Structure 1
Amino acid sequence: MKPEFLPGNRLTLLDSGREYFPALLAAIAAAEREIYLETYIFAADAVGEAVCAALCAAAARGVVVNVTVDGFGARNFPVDFQPRFAAAGVRALIYRPELGRFRLKRHRLRRLHRKLALIDGCIAFVGGINIVADDNAPPDMRPRYDYAVMVQGPVLADIHRAMRRMWEIVTWVNLRRRFRFTAVDHPRCAVAGTQAAAFLVGDNLRHRNSILNTYIEAIHGARREILIANAYFLPGLRFGRALYAAARRGVQVTVLLQGKTDHPLLRFATQALYGAALNAGIRIFEYEKSFMHAKVAVIDDDWATVGSSNIDPFSLLLAKEANIVVRDMRFAGELRAHLEAAIAAGARAMCPVDIQRQSWPRRLLRWASYGLVRLLVGIAGYGDRHWRAEDQVSQEPPPR
């Protein structure tokens, strides 16, 4: 299903937590009726404490506050925040809570990875930023580099519908009953600007391929430039073929990836694909200035996306994700300028000769990581019958 672009929105790009959290806290402080918040991580740091305090204060003045966190990403939540939320009247739920150390691993791969907030049905935040401080990382990886978008306008109706639906589902699973909905049933979605936007969700049921298909359609239509920044990048067959075809027809394809990572396995698996991509004319940069967590892209002059979805099998096949897709020259130009500045200030270009000079042990490590990622996806229940449609692309032969 193609995305439905709705006109009349006002979209504000937010660069990392330094811009995102002041805007989020201000919106929470101004809330009058209802707040929804979904996050993968809710950290017990300065940012987590500030957001917790703001949500509790909103509940104290009569705002209906609904918080949903992931049971694995926010496994500290039941101890650090849930008792305080309960005492303050904040309604908090956990998606797939951890049930002990020996819970089946396959369930840990199916996560609520969305990062969303909706206040009074009239302002929303969509992106890749968790409730965690930018400096909550090892010293050599600070500050975290990421993006979100503040949204106003008609597309809010779709965001409200998706967040309310998620709340209903998790409520039923956790408590076997439904909370009464007494706040915003029909959000105010009046025209707020001139930008066209579509809200996309990805999950492992009805909308498994929504984000993937939208990316591929935009790549097929690219005529001049494709610029992707993605923290965990392990594209499947259709995505890879689309990028290769774009490069062959003269489109400049640039991919910005992590140079410093919290998941070495995925990084090594991704590096197994570097040789083929570079030989196809795709430019690859690794961001080494700090920890890059962004999941964004710009295509040509007027297409852009910001969201939570990585381009890897865990996001595209297993997790619940959310992206905003924008058709607007000003927004696309602003995001492009941010990414080009990041590349200039903190990224290193990958070269074919660098790949060729790598030792055989290094190549073996890359391919072993690639194979292990594939195995993990199979364990999660998305083996050959699902992976075949999104198998990995690489023309580089495995080491012998």
Structure 2
Amino acid sequence: MTARWYDGNHFTLLENGEEFFPRVFDTIAAARKEVVVETFILFEDKVGLQLHEALANAARRGVQVDVTIDGWGSPDLSPQFISSLCEAGVRLHVFDPGPRPFGLRPNLLRRMHRKIVVVDGETAFIGGINYSADHLADFGPEAKQDWSVQVRGPIVAEIHRFAHAALAAGSRHSPMRRWWRRRREARSSPDQLPRAGTARAMLVTRDNGFHTTDIEKQYRLAIRAARKRIVIANAYFFPGYRFIRDLRRASRRGVDVVLILQGTPDMAIVKVGATALYSHLAKAGVRIFEYCDRPLHGKVALVDDEWSTVGSSNLDPLSLQLNLEANVVIRDRAFNQHLYEQLDQLMHKSCKQVNYEELEQAGWLHVLRSFIAFHLVRLYPALSSWLPRHRPRLAPAMPEDLRPACAVPQKETG
């Protein structure tokens, strides 16, 4: 599938689980025909149980429900949780659940990291929020800060088609049948959906086949075209050499380049990797802010007054080189302004700015670490090509004793 622009869309920015979960659950509750969900993490906590109830209720009233989870990101769902979904008619798929010698997943670094919902082919959600209670503020200091968008308009048909293509690609259909289905879907037109707004939008994905660098390319195109401002809020920031070079060049030609990164990391190594690049970026005039209220989990950015992106892709080697990811790129002044206001408020109320003078006074150990880390980043794309690749594979998730009764054949959906 080649990414293309679609006019006439409307995007609603949803911040954290407080805004995201009720909107998704209400939309599923109103579903008439179909619900398709992809998520990296589904936990059996209060949020996961709410999703479970919404999906099971939809399936019981005759809605076709397909849910795909990552086998590593969602490893501990109980047999009761799975079987009750199955008995209600939900088809729960596990991405790449193959054999685990010694309890390990050999291709751990290649994960289905997307977060997509499509309901009735008319409304979609896409972003970085998983189905777990740590996306709610009442979780405590470890609650995550993140965003998603609700989407209406012609691009929803593109997201819908992509979600079905992912189900077909991972199914046990013959190669010829999968090829014919992809060809048929490629001919369908998203323009059949009515216009819902003024936003121009593109669905951009990353896989280990034909779209290995598409998300990174869209970022870099926007950065190179920037004339006024660039604001990137990203949880895991450790991109490649060319990405860093583009940011430095933008700053040196007068663009206000701002990075909002983790100050309270959920993984210590993440901050080590990011801080290794601080001096290199700050020297070129890039302003760096660390978000300190709680772990930053967001993957959003804006350039100038029109371009924005929201999705599942971090700016680190896992997302840019290994994971399966999905972002929307949006051209809309109103959405861009709204996202900017949220990020600007975040910067001023919850962030501390990294001081360049303090970075310059760092000792030789910090300089050595920065040098090594920077050149590892530069070499990473070549090194990652040696890691094992795999064809996406889905398997039904259900206890073995329920498999004969609950294995529903894959329904062809055009």
> TM-score normalized by structure 2?
0.83
Which letter does structure 2 place at the counterpart of 1:59?
Answer: A
Tell me by how many angstroms 1:375 deviates: 9.8
Provide the rounded CA distance (Å) in 2 between the counterparts of 1:150 and 1:135.
18
Unaligned 5+ segments in structure 1 are 384-400
Question: RMSD of aligned C-alpha atoms?
Answer: 2.9
Question: Which is further off, 82-91 or 369-378?
Answer: 369-378
Decide whether the 8 Å contact of 2:308 with 2:331 is kept in 1.
yes
Which letter does structure 2 place at the counterpart of 1:168?
Answer: A
The equivalent residue for 2:7 is 7
Pair 1:302-2:306 in alignment: yes
The equivalent residue for 1:393 is none
Corresponding residue to 1:213 among 211, 217, 233? 217
Which letter does structure 1 place at the counterpart of 2:114?
Answer: R
Decide whether the 8 Å contact of 2:158 with 2:203 is kept in 1.
yes
> 1:108/1:370 Cα in 2 relative to 1: closer, same or farther (>3 Å)?
farther
Provide the rounded CA distance (Å) in 2 between the counterparts of 1:115 and 1:84.
23
> TM-score normalized by structure 1?
0.86
Provide the rounded CA distance (Å) in 2 between the counterparts of 1:296 and 1:118.
20
Tell me by how many angstroms 1:360 deviates: 5.2
Tell me by how many angstroms 1:91 deviates: 0.1
Tell me by how many angstroms 1:88 deviates: 1.3
Which letter does structure 1 place at the counterpart of 2:89?
Answer: G
> 1:66/1:164 Cα in 2 relative to 1: closer, same or farther (>3 Å)?
same
Provide the rounded CA distance (Å) in 2 between the counterparts of 1:373 and 1:96.
28
Provide the rounded CA distance (Å) in 1 between the counterparts of 2:251 and 2:147.
26
Tell me by how many angstroms 1:209 deviates: 1.1
* SS class of match (1:157): helix
Which letter does structure 2 place at the counterpart of 1:282?
Answer: V
Residues 160-192 of structure 1: per-residue CA shift (max 9 Å, x gap): 11100111122329xxx99xx9xx998762111
Provide the rounded CA distance (Å) in 2 between the counterparts of 1:98 and 1:357.
50
The equivalent residue for 1:391 is none
The equivalent residue for 1:395 is none
> 1:80/1:5 Cα in 2 relative to 1: closer, same or farther (>3 Å)?
farther
Provide the rounded CA distance (Å) in 1 between the counterparts of 2:10 and 2:311.
16
Which letter does structure 1 place at the counterpart of 2:332?
Answer: D
Question: Which is further off, 357-366 or 344-353?
Answer: 357-366
Tell me by how many angstroms 1:366 deviates: 6.4
The equivalent residue for 1:333 is 337
Instruction: List aligned pairs for 1:1-400, cutoff 5 A.
Output: 3-77=3-77, 79=79, 81-97=81-97, 99-100=99-100, 102=102, 107-133=107-133, 134-135=135-136, 139-142=140-143, 144-172=144-172, 189-358=193-362, 381-382=385-386
* SS class of match (1:206): coil
* SS class of match (2:342): helix
* SS class of match (2:44): coil
Unaligned 5+ segments in structure 2 are 388-414
Tell me by how many angstroms 1:363 deviates: 6.0
Provide the rounded CA distance (Å) in 1 between the counterparts of 2:245 and 2:334.
29
* SS class of match (1:165): helix
> 1:99/1:357 Cα in 2 relative to 1: closer, same or farther (>3 Å)?
farther
Decide whether the 8 Å contact of 1:106 with 1:381 is kept in 2.
no
Residues 132-178 of structure 1: per-residue CA shift (max 9 Å, x gap): 12248974323x210001001000121011100111122329xxx99
Question: Which is further off, 308-317 or 351-360?
Answer: 351-360
Tell me by how many angstroms 1:98 deviates: 6.2
Decide whether the 8 Å contact of 2:6 with 2:200 is kept in 1.
yes
Question: Which is further off, 357-366 or 150-159?
Answer: 357-366
Tell me by how many angstroms 1:102 deviates: 3.2
Provide the rounded CA distance (Å) in 1 between the counterparts of 2:283 and 2:257.
12
Decide whether the 8 Å contact of 1:268 with 1:370 is kept in 2.
no
Which letter does structure 2 place at the counterpart of 1:302?
Answer: E
Tell me by how many angstroms 1:291 deviates: 1.4
Question: Which is further off, 319-328 or 368-377?
Answer: 368-377
> 1:49/1:304 Cα in 2 relative to 1: closer, same or farther (>3 Å)?
same
Tell me by how many angstroms 1:84 deviates: 2.0
Question: Which is further off, 356-365 or 34-43?
Answer: 356-365
Tell me by how many angstroms 1:64 deviates: 0.4
Question: Which is further off, 316-325 or 95-104?
Answer: 95-104
Decide whether the 8 Å contact of 2:240 with 2:377 is kept in 1.
no
Decide whether the 8 Å contact of 1:31 with 1:58 is kept in 2.
yes
Decide whether the 8 Å contact of 2:239 with 2:377 is kept in 1.
no
Decide whether the 8 Å contact of 2:301 with 2:309 is kept in 1.
yes
Residues 57-91 of structure 1: per-residue CA shift (max 9 Å, x gap): 00000000000000111111364632221121100
